[in-house]
Amino acid sequence: MIDYSQLSQAVTNGEWKRTPELTQAILSAGAKPVDIIFNALQPGMEVVGEKYSSGEYYLPDMLKASRAMNLAMETLKPFIADTAVTKLGKVALATVKNDMHDIGKNIVCSFLRGVGFDVIDLGCNVAEDKFAETVRSEKPDIVGLSALLTTTMYEIGTVVKKLESEGLRGQVKVMAGGAPVTERFALQMGADAYARDGGEAVRVAKRLVGK
């Protein structure tokens, strides 16, 4: 019986110097890489998300945990085929047009990747055309929109309208967030859901893909 808890806890605690050796030890004990990801790494990051949302964890805690997870994944990489790991879903994420702030978006990317979503990070200052093009080509389950300014948050509505006019709206769920964005505003702009922070983004994204 393989014990994944130590590795999972190390991810949650951000013990990035320990996770490679712990990962190697579990591999040596006969665990499959996919099982290590599902039973140790992703659960560890889920807890990080919960702690972040609850106010127990900060940005640096999340960064340490992400590093811990990424170093574990690096250890597993030689043993994983690309198709071996089933993803929870695909999310295309960006900060909207005329907005150069990326920290919130980066945090959400890290959390979503950490729990098993396939994340396409489109960057900052992304116009509605690019979102439409991405939905057409990459077929994400979710489009995530981040806006950090009151002058740019209306771009959330612009993206939704673009998806509607291109006949793409029904293919994808839209999740929005950012400092000036509230749930009320996000829904008024036509988003399907609002996420206050990276931890909440995980819960919302899972709900949107029915997991």
Partner 1 sequence: MMEMTHKQRILAVARGEMVDKLPFGARIDTWYNFHSAHGTLPDKYKGWSQTDIMADQGAGAQKRFFSICKERFHEMEVVIKKDGDWETREYITPVGTASIKLLWSTNEGPWLAYEHEKLFKSAKDYLVVKYILEHTEPYFNDDYTQERADMGERGIVMTGTGLWCPPQRIMREIMGYELFYQEMMDNEDQVAELIDVMAELELKKLKIAIDSPLELINLCANWSDDIHTPVFQRFFTPYFKKANEMIHAAGKLSMVHTDGEMRRLLRFFPETDNDVGEAVTPKPQTSLSMTEFKKGYGEKVAIWGGISSIMFEPNYSNQEFDEHVISLIKEMAPGKGFIVGMADNLPFDGDINRVGRVVDLIEKYGKLPVWV
Can you give the binding site for partner 1, defined by CB under 8 A? 16, 55, 58-61, 63-64, 67, 98-101, 103, 106, 149-152, 154, 179-180, 182, 184-185, 188
Nearer to partner 1, 31 or 69 (CB): 69
Work out how close the CB of 172 gets to partner 1 at its nearest, in angstroms, rounded to a whole number.
Answer: 24
Alpha carbon 193 to chain centroid distance? 15
Pair type for strands 89-96 and 173-177: unpaired
8 Å CB contact between 58 and 14: no
Work out how close the CB of 92 gets to partner 1 at its nearest, in angstroms, rounded to a whole number.
Answer: 21
Nearer to partner 1, 56 or 164 (CB): 56
Q: Where are the beta strands (DSSP E) in the chain?
A: 89-96, 117-126, 142-146, 173-177, 193-194
Work out how close the CB of 69 gets to partner 1 at its nearest, in angstroms, rounded to a whole number.
Answer: 14
Question: b/e string for 64-73 if b means 16 or more Cβ within 10 A?
Answer: bbbbbbbbbb
Nearer to partner 1, 27 or 149 (CB): 149
At 79, list the tokens: 């043993």
Work out how close the CB of 152 gets to partner 1 at its nearest, in angstroms, rounded to a whole number.
Answer: 6
| Residue 203, number of CB atoms within 10 A of its CB | 16
Between CA 19 and CA 11 the distance in angstroms is 7
Nearer to partner 1, 89 or 199 (CB): 199
Nearer to partner 1, 117 or 185 (CB): 185
Work out how close the CB of 116 gets to partner 1 at its nearest, in angstroms, rounded to a whole number.
Answer: 22
